[in-house]
Amino acid sequence: MTEPPSWLWVVFTIVAALAQTARNAMQRELTGTLGTVGATHVRFLFGFPFALIALVVILLASGQAMPQPAPAFWGWVVTGGVAQIFATALMLAAMGERSFVVTIAYTKTEPIHVALFGLVFLGDVVTLPLAVAILIATAGVMVMSWKPGSASFTELRPALLGITSGAMFGLSAIGFRGAILATGETPFFVASSFTLGVGLVIQAALLSAYLGLRDRAVLIAILRAWRPSVFAGFMGAFASSFWFASFALATAASVRTLALIEVLFAQAVSVLIFRQAVSIREMAGIVLVIAGVALLLSSY
């Protein structure tokens, strides 16, 4: 089988960032009726059927067999799945206290965490241009999120929630990339689809069990809100399929640094849908994000 083009991960990441922005906006709206845990569960419960259907279609169309992953696969995929659950819940909790775009900015400290986790756990090399790109782009999101003169707990709390969410998203990215690599010589599109399907099933099962034991009313509310939940689940699975394909082709640090363009998409959603104003400081941060992403792409 021929090697995929070296630039393909860039296309996959941009598509994933667009789809994830739509999913985040939908989940933000669902938080008001379903609560943080309920809105978090939507992306997994309504997402895994789409992921499994996509996996079956890919296997049938490609003629590939179901992957037989190494034992390490299961440790990686559980780590990635559990970390993503906590990351999503923390992100939605932060969105309840700050604007949509600023919350997304907080979570985009993720590339720094990803670079460190990837180096330690997977041996992914962080080149000098990549390190500089990460620092510039992350500085951009920090400029966007920082509110001058604000030091009260009510302002620090959403910042801590968002940054911790970014760390959990970083650990999740490393876990899922580790799982994909543990599938061996499997073609990247099969390895990524298989990992996504398994991951979403595990996540849906864990959160369903938790809500079944702790808050069955939320499960009932999720089922009643099935129309918007199906869309959020579909967009979540759609975005994740492209994230996972990107992880199969490039280091998690590269993928998650380019993913900072999601801040630009979130800015558009914030202005056009949520009618939230854009400050000069946020515009300056956007310029830094674009500069960091441009440096990243020029290094490939």
The Cα 170–Cα 90 span in angstroms is 13
Asked whether the beta carbons of 181 and 122 are under 8 A apart, the reply is yes
Does residue 126 form part of some domain? Answer: yes
Helix then strand count (H, E) for the chain reads: 13, 0
Does 220 reside within a domain? Answer: yes
- Taking only the tens place, the pLDDT of each residue in 92-143 is 777 766 665 566 667 777 888 899 899 988 988 888 999 999 999 888 877 8
Please count the structural domains in the chain.
1
Distance between CA 296 and CA 41 in Å, rounded? 33
Q: How confident is the model at residue 152 (pLDDT cuts 50, 70, 90)?
A: very low
Answer whether 13's CB lies under 8 Å from 258's CB. yes
> In this structure, is residue 289 part of a structural domain?
yes
- pLDDT level of residue 151 (50, 70, 90 thresholds): very low
When mean pLDDT is compared across 120-129, 153-162, 264-273, the lowest value belongs to 153-162
In the prediction, which pLDDT does 153 show? 42
Domain that holds residue 86: 15-298
Q: H or E segment at 252? A: helix 252-258
Exposed, middle or buried: residue 64 (CB in 10 Å: 0-12, 13-18, 19+)?
Answer: middle
Instruction: Decide if 233 is inside a domain.
Output: yes
Query: Distance (Å, rounded) from C-alpha 169 to C-alpha 114?
Result: 8
Question: Which amino acid is located at 231 in the chain?
Answer: F
Q: Which sign does the torsion angle of CA 106, 107, 111, 113 carry?
A: positive
Distance CA 9, CA 243 (A): 9
Q: Say if 8 falls within a structural domain.
A: no
The Cα–Cα gap between 68 and 282 comes to 47
If you ran DSSP here, which 8-state letter would residue 98 be given? S
Q: Tell me the C-alpha distance between 92 and 39, whole Å.
A: 8
pTM, entire model: 0.83
Answer yes or no: is 9 within a domain. no
